[in-house]
Amino acid sequence: MTAAGGDTRGVDRDERDDAVADAEVEVEVSALAINVTVPESHRWTDTRRGEEFRLSTLNVRMLPDGHLAVKAYGRPVAGGRGAYVSFPVPDDPALTALVAAAADRAGAIWTGHRGLR
């Protein structure tokens, strides 16, 4: 959909940009977020509400000022689904590098998008 509400499937990027410009609507992106799998060698455990979790996924968001924010998620060590609870990410150079590399990769993927299916 364009900002004006039209369908953009099968429309090339220049035509889509023209449609948005013609609508004179500023497109506001409210969030950019990616999920990143933590390699097994860098996973860790943390406890919340008396339950131990093995953290295996990072949710990385780009803030309006261009900086990144990150939270970790995982599953209870004891098994089961458990609660969907976020955890802080430890100050670890390997995890910091993973977040930066994931953000760079996501940017490249977004740049190459081919529109709606």
Residue 117 is assigned to a structural domain of this protein: no
Strands (E), the chain: 32-37, 44-48, 51-62, 68-76
Range of the domain at 16: 1-29
pLDDT tens by residue, 27-74: 888 889 999 999 999 999 999 989 999 999 999 999 989 999 999 999
Residue in the block written with tokens 């529109």: 115
Q: Which residues contact 70 (CB under 8 A, 6 or more apart)?
A: 58, 59, 60, 61, 89, 99
Q: Are residues 22 and 50 in the same domain?
A: no
Q: Which of 97, 74, 96 is nearest to 85 (CA)?
A: 74
The pTM of the full predicted model, rounded to 2 decimals, is 0.75
Q: Are residues 5 and 38 in the same domain?
A: no
- The CA dihedral of 74, 77, 82, 88, to the nearest 10 degrees, is -40
Residue 116 is assigned to a structural domain of this protein: no
Q: Are residues 89 and 107 in the same domain?
A: yes
Q: Which residues contact 52 (CB under 8 A, 6 or more apart)?
A: 45, 46, 76, 77, 78
pLDDT at position 12 is 63
Q: Are residues 36 and 80 in the same domain?
A: yes
Residue 85 binned pLDDT confidence (cut-offs 50, 70, 90): confident
Residue in the block written with tokens 């992106």: 29
Q: Are residues 11 and 68 in the same domain?
A: no
Q: Is pLDDT of 10 > 80?
A: no
